[in-house]
Amino acid sequence: MDLYGPLLEKALFPAFEAARGRPTVPLLRYLQSTERWSRDQLLDLQAGFLRRLMRHAYLHTSYYRELLDDRGLRPEDFDSVESLERLPLLDRDIVRESLESRTAAAPPRWVIQKSTSGTTGQPVVVKYNAESRYWRDATRWRGYGWANYRIGMRAMHYWGAGPAAPSWVKRKKVMLDRMLKRDFYVDCTPRGDQALMESVDQLRSIKPHVMVAYSAGAAALARFVNARGLRDWGDIPVLLGAERLWPEDREEINKAFGPAFETYGCREVMLISSECEAHDGMHTSMETMITEIVVREPDGRVRAAKPGETGEIAITDLHNLACPMVRYITGDLAVQRAPTPCACGRGLERIGPIEGRVTETLRDGNGNPVNGLVFNILFGVMNHVALKFQVVQKLDGSVVMKVVPNGTPKLPEKESRQIHEFAAKYLPGTTFGIEYVEDIPLTAAGKRKVVIVEKPAA
């Protein structure tokens, strides 16, 4: 890197975080040491954090006090990760309905509130305290570091571009923050030849040390680069998320840019797992959360998935005391792995591959592919006016967005106009409309397909 990179990493960023009262750098150093602990040591650490969480939840939230009392449990009964099996899973509907009853009546208070992007078609609101935020930031930098992404590097974020911040001041703050941190954002949603060539031109201009990208977006760009022999740069590590990284896509990305590193996370808890240099599954963030892979039996029983078996991902945020989420079902599927040591020497457990959250690809009026995640990005800022949504592309190419409004017959004019403008930008030449429905049913597997592309009958 040039001189600014090490200066930002070693001096400016630590000083900035410390001035704002954020222990991000000390926590990062701590995580870089605990990742080398044995699995048993890490399980003991999780058990300690879990006891603290359950004690606080029992004393200060009506939801968990009633839940434990109904089952004859006390906070001291949670002395290991396995003890979580005594509690039911926290489905998205329950999360939505229990927001207030899960919010603690005593400090630490929640300071951040987010809405999920709605990749299962029904977003939820999440509240968390400052401590949880600090752990999330440090965990992200630790996981990214396994791909050799360090603070101070020029990073090209090949990501979806959501609506701009509403105020001029906020937009300028975001712009300044990205400039100082050397974060360059390129919209990965348009995938026609012209848009892909423009992305290649931007990559050459930015000269990034690292890329952070949607898996399908990076794969599309990689195929474009490889088919035309455009690569004239050295290896660029690529951190991939938001969708599953398929083996054939990994090969294309490795050839076009450099080594691919898969990550998995969600807005509710941020980075859940990351791939290390061994490229053999993804290490879970054990110091920050408990990650379970569970299987629901036909008789209603819930059990831990066996090694090699696919199950649902359940997350317990160990540091969110303000609004606890215990055994929260993310809506994604993953393969359970045996607790064997990784070649990298880290004691953190591994999961993967992730087998859920793969969106279908839409086509604009010219036949160019468009990532269906574009509507998830939009919906993440519209949860206050809509409960559920689903995007359907008909056989004739037209697109309909089915919406379940939040308490009103239709969306307000402002939000309706915003959706149409968004669709016009990313689906040019496509007939687009909004259809209001009473409900959007789940599939037989219990998932709500966010994007449906109709196909001719066989």
What letter represents residue 225's amino acid? V
Contact 45, 287 (CB under 8 A): yes
Nearest 5°: the CA angle 63, 66, 72 is 140
CA dihedral 236, 242, 248, 252 (to 10 degrees): -30
Q: Which two tokens stand for residue 274?
A: 């990351």
Average pLDDT for 147-158: 95
Distance CA 357, CA 370 (A): 16
Cis ω on the peptide bond leading into residue 14 (within 30° of 0)?
no
pLDDT at 358 over 70: no
Average pLDDT for 115-136: 81
Residue 213: C-alpha distances to residues 189, 219, 222, 261 (Å): 11, 9, 11, 10
For residue 7, how many other CB atoms are within 10 A of its CB? 13
388: closest CA among 120, 90, 125, 98? 120
The residue that leads in pLDDT, 115 or 203, is 203
pLDDT at 402 over 70: yes
**15-67: per-residue pLDDT in tens?**
999 999 999 999 999 999 999 999 999 999 999 999 999 999 999 999 999 99
Distance CA 95, CA 78 (A): 21
pLDDT at 449 over 90: no
Q: What's the pLDDT score for residue 386?
A: 86
Q: What's the pLDDT score for residue 445?
A: 41
Residue ranges and CATH numbers for the domains of the chain are: 4-135+266-354 (3.40.50.12780), 148-258 (3.40.50.980), 361-453 (3.30.300.30)
Average pLDDT for 79-87: 95
- Classified as helix, coil or strand, 144 is helix
Query: Please, how many CA atoms are within 13 Å of residue 182, restricted to the half-sphere of its CB?
Result: 23
Confidence band for 121, pLDDT divided at 50, 70 and 90: low
Q: To which H or E segment does residue 335 belong?
A: strand 328-336
pLDDT at 229 over 90: yes
Question: Which has the minimum average pLDDT: 162-166, 208-212, 273-277, 293-297?
Answer: 162-166
Contact 149, 155 (CB under 8 A): yes
**159-198: per-residue pLDDT in tens?**
877 666 677 788 888 888 888 889 999 988 887 889 999 9
The number of angstroms, rounded, from the C-alpha of 167 to the middle of its chain's C-alpha atoms is 26
pTM of the entire predicted model: 0.80
Percent of residues, the chain, with pLDDT higher than 70: 93
- Classified as helix, coil or strand, 424 is helix
Contacts of 72 (CB under 8 A, 6+ apart): none
The number of angstroms, rounded, from the C-alpha of 271 to the middle of its chain's C-alpha atoms is 7
pLDDT at 237 over 90: yes
Distance CA 390, CA 392 (A): 7
312: closest CA among 438, 445, 129? 445
The residue that leads in pLDDT, 128 or 119, is 128
- Any idea what DSSP says for residue 305? P
Residues making up the chain, counted from first to last? 458
Q: What is the pLDDT of the chain when averaged over all its residues? A: 90
